[in-house]
Amino acid sequence: MRHQVRLSTMAASVAVVTLAVAGCGAAGTPAGEGRAESSTGSSRSAAPVEAVEIDEEKWFREIRLEDWAANGGDPAVMQAVLRRIQESTDERENAQWFDTVIEPGPGNWITEWTTVGREALGKADAARAGGDSRAARDWYRAASIYFTVAAYPQHRESAHEEDAYRRAKDAYEKAARLGDSGFERLRVPLEGGTFEAFLHLPKGDGPFPVVLSTGGIDVAKTQNRPLFDRHLAPAGIAMVSFDNAGFGDSKDWPADHPAMDRLHSAVVDRLREHDLIDAERIGAVGVSYGGNTVGRLAFTDERVKAVVSVCGPVHQALDAGLEFIDNLPPQPRAALAARLDVPVGDTERLAQLVKRTSLVNQGYVGKQRTDTPILVVATADDPFAPVGDIKRLAASSADGEVKITGGHGHCPPVKERDQVTWDWLKRHL
């Protein structure tokens, strides 16, 4: 049984920003997986809406408008949703946070995002019926990200969250099938069960090299499309995206197990059976929490020929244990507890498990060497993936490389990190 997280048990972080705040990353680390430009088309533009100023102290969730826009959300629509939530006068579960209006009803986080998701879905269906496949695809993408945000951060047992994520995946598939590339929903066997992965195939006959792509502790597989569309598909490379351990469709395999990369190896097993995949050219990219996981993968699965760890914590932050947990803002702590299947108030247990995710404590970095090429990407001042740590990971590979990007804090901007990732992968796949 997965543990419910009560919002009232946590304290808020302090910061004031406009439009977007930091996101959530590896092993519960705060800070976004990066900022990205909007990819929304003019066919879906809404009337300009005054930007909502986001005061972190007054929101439980971390607001990532630019990332959501990069995945198809309309900034004006999203600003309007945030304003309705902020201005709601309905009862809140925790009075200090806008986004805790008790469901169902106006102002509730899931209700508001699901509402705009349904509206976008209706417009997508109408566009498809009218023969405008491009507009339909854009609207399906918008619907998918709105439903994804409705479920975000998937931190508690909630039928409404589960329903929103199911709708997000269905809309994502409809969008993918209207594009130029192929798409499959794979069932991946693991330890007596199965989890779902999305396989994106470029145009052509194959077999194709493939990249495994995973995000942080609250970044769903419905948010990994930009890397494929902009870089992999044009180069004839497939991509498979899936939810990391303890999250989304992988929630039955909590991250309390040291071998979090067992999901990645299970995906490799599945891909090696696929006629359109070149089993000798498999790479992996992980961001934040996913970066930690693929860092481990470089030592444990020689079938993966190249690994990119983007802002993945290696040791220093994770080894801080209880100090690390105590300093987490409310949402990352809640998401981390859910991934580890531990009550959010059990900080001692959380600290123990987080220390175990250190690649040094597991006996890999600094103690073993791997022949798998590794690229490690981070900003110069990432507090969770400091330069000294990522250099240790790169030095553990016979072909390791470190790339310090622009940007500040945890994780580089999406556009920049994707370009760096692609430039390196095309040399190794």
Rg (CA), the chain: 20
The yes-or-no verdict on residue 334 having pLDDT over 60 is yes
The yes-or-no verdict on residue 287 having pLDDT over 50 is yes
pTM of the model: 0.88
Q: Which of 362, 304, 306, 354 is nearest to 328 (CA)?
A: 354
Average pLDDT for residues 346-360, to the nearest whole number?
95
Q: Which of 364, 251, 356, 288 is nearest to 64 (CA)?
A: 288
The yes-or-no verdict on residue 117 having pLDDT over 60 is yes
Q: Which of 301, 327, 297, 334 is nearest to 312 (CA)?
A: 297
What tokens were used for 273?
């059976």
Q: What per-residue confidence (pLDDT) applies to 4? A: 34
Identify the burial level of 375 via C-beta atoms within 10 angstroms of its C-beta, where 0-12 means exposed, 13-18 middle and 19 or more buried: buried
Residues in CB range of 229: below 8 A, 6 or more apart: none
**Banded model confidence at residue 48, pLDDT cuts 50, 70, 90:** low
The yes-or-no verdict on residue 183 having pLDDT over 50 is yes
Lowest mean pLDDT, pick from 20-29, 271-280, 353-362: 20-29
Average pLDDT for residues 64-69, to the nearest whole number?
90
Identify the burial level of 158 via C-beta atoms within 10 angstroms of its C-beta, where 0-12 means exposed, 13-18 middle and 19 or more buried: middle
Q: What per-residue confidence (pLDDT) applies to 282? A: 98
3-state SS, residue 218: coil
Q: What per-residue confidence (pLDDT) applies to 40? A: 39
Q: What per-residue confidence (pLDDT) applies to 397? A: 97
The yes-or-no verdict on residue 174 having pLDDT over 90 is yes
Contact between 370 and 381 under an 8 Å Cβ cutoff? The reply is no
Q: What per-residue confidence (pLDDT) applies to 413? A: 85
**Banded model confidence at residue 240, pLDDT cuts 50, 70, 90:** very high
Which domains are seen in the chain, by residue range?
35-171 (no CATH), 180-428 (3.40.50.1820)
The yes-or-no verdict on residue 9 having pLDDT over 70 is no
Lowest mean pLDDT, pick from 4-8, 75-79, 97-101, 312-316: 4-8
The yes-or-no verdict on residue 256 having pLDDT over 80 is yes
Q: What per-residue confidence (pLDDT) applies to 49? A: 65
> What DSSP designation does 93 have?
S
Q: Residue 112 and residue 429: Cα distance in Å, rounded?
A: 43
Q: Rounded to a whole number, what is the largest CA-CA distance in the chain?
A: 61
Lowest mean pLDDT, pick from 121-130, 292-301, 386-395, 413-422: 413-422
Average pLDDT for residues 243-261, to the nearest whole number?
91
Q: Which of 259, 416, 324 is nearest to 25 (CA)?
A: 324
